[in-house]
Structure 1
């Protein structure tokens, strides 16, 4: 789907025209030179996106609550995330739980960064496991020497 684009200066100079574009397209990409780009959207469109996320999160959570649904999710996972083939069965189950929890956070708490982080972290784990030399290097036990306290980030 193509989203109309306007510059921030166009928005400030011709806000009424840009508002008309937003009403027609429901969403407009606003480019900025001095900061992160923005999106303008209608309230109706934003409510629909929230409802879509809510339905998706609830459906996903309901699916994994019974054996048949969980099996369907596990069978579909490699289609959506091909790199999961490098994870063990237990790691895949952990990933699914993390994914469902992060999806719920996106809906219930309006925190979307958790879902992104879960996917990025599990993909990085799969990348390590896909390389036998790297996996061996990173899973080799450390010497028994104490390197001091590890502080929380």
Structure 2
């Protein structure tokens, strides 16, 4: 269960909100004003459980993508979960599967997922380029006059 409330209301009655969250195992989302980021408040038990589950899934995926008999099928069928993966050439789908699984496992080991989010964004951008055949062809072609060699 998730409860969203303004940060100011949480501050005014924090004990009441924390007690209710403890009783219901709820996650509190505390919104701020003026475009400031929201904060997520959850129990240590929930955080540890999520971390353990994420480490397990990451290890399972890493094992899967290193099994040559499974990685191609996994990479191809992953387009069901992330439809944009279908735009990647077949050879890149395998690289995508391996890189994301390894990066997720590394991120799970330290509890920070910024590198994983950045990698996923890079792969989505790559898929977007491949979705436009003219753009993909233009970016895949040779460079007649490299910019760093101009006089």
Instruction: Give the superposed CA RMSD.
Output: 1.8
Distance 1:19 1:143, change over 3 A: same
TM-score by length of 2: 0.87
Distance in 1 (alpha carbons) for counterparts of 2:93 and 2:58: 18
Distance in 2 (alpha carbons) for counterparts of 1:135 and 1:40: 43
Structure with bigger RCO (C-alpha 8 Å, 6+ apart): 2
Give the aligned partner of residue 13 of structure 2: 14
Distance in 2 (alpha carbons) for counterparts of 1:5 and 1:105: 31
Give the aligned partner of residue 86 of structure 1: 87
Q: For structure 1, which segment, 33-42 or 137-146, has the greater mean C-alpha deviation from structure 2 after superposition?
A: 137-146
Distance 1:139 1:64, change over 3 A: closer
Unaligned runs of 5+ in 1: 149-153
TM-score by length of 1: 0.86
Listed one character per residue, the Cα deviations across residues 64-118 of structure 1 (whole Å, up to 9, x for unaligned) are 2223332442243111122222222221111112101221122112220111111
Matches within 5 A, 1:33-72: 33-34=33-34, 35-72=36-73
Q: 1:106·1:112 contact (CA, 8 Å) conserved in 2?
A: yes
State the aligned residue count. 147
**TM-fit CA distance, 1:123:** 1.2
Q: 1:87·1:126 contact (CA, 8 Å) conserved in 2?
A: yes
Q: 2:66·2:98 contact (CA, 8 Å) conserved in 1?
A: no
What SS does the corresponding residue of 1:4 show, helix, strand or coil?
strand
Matches within 5 A, 1:96-135: 96-135=97-136
Distance 1:146 1:33, change over 3 A: closer
